[in-house]
Amino acid sequence: MQGLMMHQPLLIAGILRHAAKWHGSTEIVSRQPEGGLHRSTYAEAYDRARQLANAFARLGVREGDRIGTLAWNTHRHFELYYGISGSGAVCHTINPRLFVEQLVYIINHAQDRLLFFDVTFLPLVEKLAPLCPRVESWVLMTGPEHLPATSELPNLRDYESLLAAETADYEWPTFDENTASSLCYTSGTTDQPKGVLYSHRSTLLHSYAAGLPDAFNCGAQDVISPVVPMFHVNAWGIPYLAPMVGAKLVLPGPGLDAISLCELFENESVTFSAGVPTIWFGLLQYMRETQRRFGTLRKMIIGGAACPPALLYAFANELHVEIRHAWGMSETSPLGTVATLKANQATLSAEAQFEALASQGRGLFGIDMKIVGEDGQELPHDGEAFGDLLVRGPWVAADYFGSLTPGQLTTNGWFRTGDVATIDAAGFMRITDRSKDVIKSGGEWISSIELENQAMAHPAVAEAAVIGVPHPKWSERPLLVVVRRPGYEGITAEELLSFYDGKVATWWKPDAVEFVDQLPHTATGKLLKTQLRKDFANYALA
Ligand code: AMP
């Protein structure tokens, strides 16, 4: 017997329709790449998304066609999210920090028909265009006054003129909620990038879950500023969540340095933000140096890479901002787990509570997870056993876009994350490593993340990475690679190594320390350990 409820597919256009109708005057503030701050509202964005949809119809865009974006977090990028997906096409957000060869591969693999880009990326796009012949038209995301006088770009036009030619009279099509809505390629460090193709249904379910109290906990009183880029897993779903709950949206554009962020947060009364640890380290340092405190910011999500407990501690105790540590991946839309306490943990010691909050957290309803050993058998939830982390759920990828080996991404319905983790009795998951980064010493595993977290708590350490280097007896031993904080140039390897005493098992202690000026990062700001391993491939331990 079927239930007798209305059948309304979960479609992305419905989110902005809701925001325009019930939060129409709520603001979207955006720092523009061409300079200045832009103010609009959900009602205006809704009209402009419909103008875009009319433009796509005029340009012959059909359901399922891919439309690419190379853009910062701005109001125009927000409008594109809705105009593209709402009309049935696929919004393909591209990470402009990738190498040209990767960008060319991605654009050609996705077969993008139109490509929207910010003024910042004009020089980049001029290199890409001759290598991406399928792109029929390149659209500069600005007004006609910023169009270059001459350009070789095929059918170059500007965003504002494209919109100006259309009315906002548009009926969003209704289609199956499993229709593809957006596409994001994971920045493979060794293999070619792979496309994760989200659906309207997965996106809406993910947004509902992200808004829950133990996740992002956002509502109509919030002022949300996603610092995580809209080209990195849909800015963790915030461009959908904010209009869904009617929160004011503050988009930082290209201004991701600490001074610009702090100014924007204060001027726009931002209450909630989200981003990777590197960004928050920069902001923390700036707040310390200038002895400033946030007026309204109350909560931040840190994810995308392990959040060192020292960072969590500093934000909570010095800046009085609650940090929530979250784990996820492009393949999980991205939200999988968030660290918040349960009621029965209220009586735990402050240290025990902090330990739980420093973990990657508990699975949200919608994400099921387990850890398995090398034999594929499930491991106990004792906080000790660690193994490969497997997940499944309605916003977890079942396959990659255009995969040459379809059906191989999952095993018995579970997606292998490539992360190694423990799960404790209360359900808190801790990532100990990427499976490729775990250090195998004498047949036992050492967590590089744990060693990095400990090092980051030392005042002399600006950034730390731990990799395994070859060892004749143990096969691999940990090497700590450190960027020193200014003023700490005199710190010695011995001093740093003694900092581990009593904090980790003695056999976990790195064998050596190397000081470098900077560490290599991926295009999404994570440590690029493949590069480090190459750099130190012939490292001779004393
Ligand atoms: P991406 O798909 O580029 O977002 O990368 C996902 C990967 O980032 C995960 O598989 C983890 O290895 C890593 N990651 C994301 N969040 C965290 C976290 N909170 N702690 C540790 N690693 C994380």
Closest-CA residue to 311 (of 455, 448, 424) = 455
Domain 14-208 and domain 437-535, same fold? Reply is: no
- Per-residue pLDDT band for 475 (boundaries 50, 70, 90) equals confident
Mean pLDDT on 310-330: 95
Q: Please determine, for residue 189, whether its predicted confidence score (pLDDT) is greater than 70.
A: no
pLDDT of 100 reads 94
Locate 385 and state its tokens. Answer: 């056993």
Mean pLDDT on 165-189: 93
Mean pLDDT on 394-419: 94
- Rounded to the nearest angstrom, the distance between the alpha carbon of 335 and the centre of ligand 1 is 10
- Rounded to the nearest angstrom, the distance between the alpha carbon of 389 and the centre of ligand 1 is 12
What is the position in ligand 1's atom list of the atom closest to the CA of 232? 4
Q: Give CA–CA dist 367/129, Å, rounded.
A: 40
The percentage of the chain sitting over the pLDDT mark of 90, rounded to a whole number, equals 87
Q: Give CA–CA dist 131/19, Å, rounded.
A: 40
Strands 444-446 and 414-423: unpaired
pLDDT of 190 reads 59
CA 375 to chain centre: 32
- Per-residue pLDDT band for 374 (boundaries 50, 70, 90) equals confident
Coil/strand/helix, residue 123? helix
Residue nearest atom 23 of ligand 1, based on CA coordinates: 305
Location of structure tokens 């969540």: 241
* pLDDT tens digits, one per residue of 215-251: 999 999 999 999 999 999 999 999 999 999 999 999 9
Q: Report yes or no: 137 and 154 within 8 Å, Cβ to Cβ.
A: yes
- Rounded to the nearest angstrom, the distance between the alpha carbon of 332 and the centre of ligand 1 is 10
* pLDDT tens digits, one per residue of 31-68: 999 999 999 999 999 999 999 999 999 999 999 999 99
- Report domain extents, the chain: 14-208, 437-535
Average of per-residue pLDDT values in the chain:
95
Q: Give the burial string for 145-154 (b: 16+ CB within 10 Å, else e).
A: ebbeeeeebe
Kindly list the catalytic residues.
186, 331, 440, 445
Location of structure tokens 């995308």: 304
Q: Does the Cβ of 391 fall within 6 Å of ligand 1?
A: no
Q: Report yes or no: 167 and 55 within 8 Å, Cβ to Cβ.
A: no
Strands 137-140 and 223-226: unpaired
Mean pLDDT on 141-170: 95
At the topology level, CATH places domain 14-208 in: Rossmann fold (3.40.50)
* pLDDT tens digits, one per residue of 499-514: 999 998 898 999 999 9
**Residue from 302, 338, 431, 451 whose mutation best tests the ligand 1 pocket (most atoms within 8 A of CB):** 431
At 259, the amino acid letter reads: I
pLDDT of 191 reads 74
Locate 501 and state its tokens. Answer: 């005493």
The percentage of the chain sitting over the pLDDT mark of 70, rounded to a whole number, equals 99
Burial level of 396, CB count in 10 A (0-12/13-18/19+)? buried
- Per-residue pLDDT band for 526 (boundaries 50, 70, 90) equals confident
Locate 132 and state its tokens. Answer: 């991406």
* pLDDT tens digits, one per residue of 99-144: 899 999 999 999 999 999 999 999 999 999 999 999 999 999 999 9
Closest-CA residue to 359 (of 430, 421, 293, 292) = 430
Higher local confidence (pLDDT), 276 or 91: 91
Closest-CA residue to 438 (of 472, 478, 471) = 478
Closest-CA residue to 333 (of 232, 193, 191) = 232
pLDDT of 23 reads 98
Sheet holding 322-328, edge to edge: 37-41, 27-31, 248-251, 223-226, 272-275, 299-302, 322-328, 335-338, 362-363
Location of structure tokens 């309803």: 365
pLDDT of 542 reads 76
Mean pLDDT on 145-160: 93
Burial level of 428, CB count in 10 A (0-12/13-18/19+)? buried
Q: Does the Cβ of 71 fall within 6 Å of ligand 1?
A: no
Q: Give CA–CA dist 182/67, Å, rounded.
A: 9
Burial level of 412, CB count in 10 A (0-12/13-18/19+)? exposed
Q: Does the Cβ of 453 fall within 6 Å of ligand 1?
A: no
Q: Report yes or no: 241 and 212 within 8 Å, Cβ to Cβ.
A: no
Mean pLDDT on 374-383: 95
* H runs (alpha helix) in 30-184: 42-58, 75-86, 100-110, 122-128, 159-164
The residues near 65 (Cβ < 8 Å, ≥ 6 apart) are: 89, 90, 113
Mean pLDDT on 431-450: 87
Which superfamily does CATH assign the domain made up of 437-535 to? ANL, C-terminal domain (3.30.300.30)
Q: Does the Cβ of 431 fall within 6 Å of ligand 1?
A: yes
The residues near 107 (Cβ < 8 Å, ≥ 6 apart) are: 68, 94, 115, 128, 132, 134, 135
Mean pLDDT on 294-320: 94
Q: Give CA–CA dist 120/542, Å, rounded.
A: 48
pLDDT of 445 reads 84
* H runs (alpha helix) in 246-343: 258-267, 277-290, 309-317
List 483's β-bridge partners, or say none.
463
- Rounded to the nearest angstrom, the distance between the alpha carbon of 48 and the centre of ligand 1 is 34
| Residue 296 Cα distances to 120, 262, 321, angstroms | 31, 11, 9
pLDDT of 188 reads 61
